[in-house]
Structure 1
Amino acid sequence: MKHIAIIGECMIELNGKPFGEMHQTFGGDTLNAAVYLNRGCQLNSEDTLIRTSFVSALGTDAISEAMIARWQDENIDTQFVLRDGDRTPGLYLIQLDEQGERTFLYWRNQSAAKYLLQHPNFDTIAHALKSTNMVFLSGISLAILPTEDRVKLFGLLNELKRNDVEISFDSNYRPALWPSDELITVKENYRQMYQLTDIALVTFDDEKLIWGDLNPQATIERLHSEGIKNVVLKLGAEGCLVSENFGKQSLTVPTQPVKNVVDTTSAGDSFNGGFLSCYLAGGSMEHSCQRGNRLAGIVIQHKGAIIPKTATDVVTQKH
């Protein structure tokens, strides 16, 4: 059995119009990836098992309890979710325009996940992570942490890497989560993360915004130069580019056009989940990208970060 630990935050999601019709659920980039990873696992052979653990912190309130129950319904292992009696989950509001593009408002400064590494029981989890096969996290996982905790996390990831734990990272850049007008801080933290990363699952628009890359090939070359062996560069409707073994093998993996785009909220997250579900089962980088593309193409035709299980049935049919 392969074991992946996914580090991050899950928040209460409100989706709709302010003071109008509003739908309540939950979401967070890495939690979304965990959900879609497990759904994507239905494509694997019966003898391929993947254990997906979410690493985070929640409160002890009723909403936190309900979140835990929902994650377990998605077969996510929650033994690494710490409970904080003094804090609660964060909250965000999604607003969509007519093209399905979204804007966010966040209330998360005192969320339990923000102080995950300060929890008195976190060291126990850090030790347990040495026995996993892969750790996946995102730029949001980094951004929400206090500076001193980010340093501690990099130290832990260094230790995991020395223990042959594969590190996967999605830069998922959200400017509002970082100090204003301090792009240098973002670059410093991302460089440290890139140097620890074995597989980058990044989006060109994010990388271009941070680094000013002129084209996707420039992004791939820069990431390889940082020490990343395998790069998957997501290009939205154009699919993705894959560059393996420091650029010795590269190809374009196209996706099928989607005519009815409803909500792009979890496009990248569902791609990550689909990709990882195939990769951890022994699939090639190309096949893993194909699965990620297929899953993301279904997800963006529905509202919300996590769509109903029945809506992903078409993805989990053998092909």
Structure 2
Amino acid sequence: MKHIAIIGECMIELNGKPFGPMQQTFGGDTLNAAVYLCRGRTANQDPANIQVSYVTALGSDPLSQGMISRWQQEGLDTELVLRDEHRSPGLYLIQLDDQGERTFLYWRHQSAARYLMQHPDIDGIKAALSHVDMVFLSGITLAILPEQDRMDLLNLLAKLRQQGVEIAFDSNFRPALWPDDHHVTVKTIYEAMYRLTDLALVTFDDEQQLWGDNTPTHTLNRLKTLGVKHCVVKTGADGCLVEAHGLPAQTVATTPVEQVVDTTSAGDSFNGGFLSAYLAGYDLVEACQRGNKLAGTVIQHRGAIIDNIYTQAALIS
């Protein structure tokens, strides 16, 4: 069995038009990936092959308890979810335009997940992480933390990697989450993170915005110089560019989608689909093919986490 721990934040999601029809659910980049990873185990026809643990902090309120119950129904292990008696989950509102592109409003500054590293029980989480096979996190995981907590997390990841834990990272750059001098701050943090990363699952648009990369190949080469062993650069409708340690880069194309409804969880679902294959022993190209296929299905439906019947149809067919 492979055991992956995914660190991040899940928030209450409102999806719709202000003062109009609104759907309430939950979501967050790494949580979305965790759910799709769990669903991918079913597609592997060996659900026990991968244990998926989510690492975060929630409140003791009914919304927090409702989220945990839903995660457990998806097969997600919640033993590493800490409860904060003084805080609650963050909240975000998604607004969509006619092309399915989204804009967000967030209320998360005092969320329980932001103070995960300060929780009285965090030492138990640190100890548990030393026994997993992989830790996955994103740039949002890093961005929401106070500065010292962010450094504490990087130091923890360095220790885990020394102990043989594989580290996977999606940069998922969101400028609004970083200070005004974010280009200096983020580059410093991301460079440190990449030097700890075994598997990078990044989006070219994000990398280009931050680093000024000209092409996905430029991104891939930059990551390699920082010591990343396996690189996947997601390129939207074009699929992705992938390179394994010691092997030449390869483009993995995706099937065009005629009608895009909602791009909210495109990259997250790719990550979940990819990791469900990668941890099950598929090679990188096969894992990218699964990620592409799942993401292409997800963007044809509204919301970050689509109905499981559509997920399974994409993963098994």
Structures share a fold, TM > 0.5?
yes
**Offset at residue 295 of structure 1 (A):** 0.5
**Offset at residue 46 of structure 1 (A):** 2.9
**Offset at residue 45 of structure 1 (A):** 4.1
User: Is the Cα–Cα contact under 8 Å of residues 50 and 280 in structure 1 kept in the other structure?
Assistant: yes
Separation in structure 1 between the aligned mates of residue 8 and residue 182 of structure 2, nearest angstrom: 23
Q: Which residue of structure 1 aligns with residue 279 of structure 2?
A: 280
**Offset at residue 21 of structure 1 (A):** 0.6
**Offset at residue 41 of structure 1 (A):** 1.4
**Offset at residue 43 of structure 1 (A):** 2.1
Separation in structure 1 between the aligned mates of residue 174 and residue 128 of structure 2, nearest angstrom: 30
**Offset at residue 312 of structure 1 (A):** 1.3
User: Is the Cα–Cα contact under 8 Å of residues 41 and 47 in structure 2 kept in the other structure?
Assistant: no
Q: Deviations over 1:149-199 (max 9, x none)?
A: 011001100110011100000000000000023310010000010000000
**Offset at residue 249 of structure 1 (A):** 2.1
Q: Which residue of structure 2 aligns with residue 131 of structure 1?
A: 131
C-alpha root-mean-square deviation of aligned residues, in Å? 1.0
User: Is the Cα–Cα contact under 8 Å of residues 37 and 274 in structure 1 kept in the other structure?
Assistant: yes
Q: Which residue of structure 1 aligns with residue 290 of structure 2?
A: 291
SS at match of 1:245: coil
**Offset at residue 47 of structure 1 (A):** 7.7
Separation in structure 1 between the aligned mates of residue 180 and residue 18 of structure 2, nearest angstrom: 26
Q: Deviations over 1:204-234 (max 9, x none)?
A: 0000000001111111110000110110000
SS at match of 1:36: helix
User: Is the Cα–Cα contact under 8 Å of residues 54 and 81 in structure 2 kept in the other structure?
Assistant: yes
Q: Which residue of structure 2 aligns with residue 302 of structure 1?
A: 301
Q: Deviations over 1:243-294 (max 9, x none)?
A: 1115x32101000000111000000000000000000000000000000001
Query: Where do 1:263-278 residues align within 5 Å?
Result: 263-278=262-277
Number of residue pairs matched?
Answer: 317
Q: Which residue of structure 2 aligns with residue 206 of structure 1?
A: 206
SS at match of 2:300: coil
Q: Once structures 1 and 2 are overlaid, which stretch shifts more, 28-37 or 176-185?
A: 176-185
Segments of 4+ moved more than 2 angstroms:
45-48
Q: Deviations over 1:18-38 (max 9, x none)?
A: 011110000000000000001
Letter in 1 for 2:260: V
Q: Which runs of 5+ in 1 are unaligned?
A: none
Letter in 2 for 1:13: E
Letter in 2 for 1:104: F
Query: Where do 1:39-188 residues align within 5 Å?
Result: 39-46=39-46, 49-188=49-188
**Structure-2-length-normalised TM-score:** 0.98
